[in-house]
Amino acid sequence: MRAALLALAFIGAGGMALADPVEGVWQTRPDDNGDYGHVEIAACGAAFCGVLVRAFDGAGAEKTASPNIGKQIVWDMTAEGEGAYGGGKVWAPDRDKTYRAKMALAGDSLSVSGCVLGGIICRASEWKRVK
């Protein structure tokens, strides 16, 4: 019985160890309109995707009726090691543009950057971990 419990503990710990550090909920920096959101990043196949789960106006009031809640903000982001992620896309609702993107994780800070038009127009943002 004790051996079975010990085996289950190791299996459970192994499952937790498989979670990537980028997984979780991240608060975006305010956009051009002052709005910001919470993006939940999780594995989606072999890559990582992020969905807008909450939206806020510039005063911090939650926008429960935002049409962007539930929309994919990040997709096809693959881990490259050392906290780097690339090969993905990020959609910016304030400009309705999709950027070829990369991310860099450092503790509870996630640098998100991307470009459109062959690298002519680029944006960068720092997201902070919510949970």
Phi, psi of 113 (to 5 degrees): -140, 155
Residue with tokens 């106006």: 57
pLDDT score, position 104: 98
Residue with tokens 């998100």: 112
The DSSP element (H or E) to which 44 belongs, if any, is strand 36-44
pLDDT score, position 18: 65
Tens of pLDDT, residues 98-115: 999 999 999 999 999 999
75 has pLDDT over 60: yes
pLDDT score, position 32: 85
pLDDT score, position 107: 95
Q: Give all domains of the chain, ordered by start, each with its CATH number.
A: 20-129 (2.40.128.520)
Burial state string for 89-100 with b = 16 or more CB within 10 A and e = fewer than 16? bbbbbeeeeebb
Percentage, residues of the chain above pLDDT 90: 78
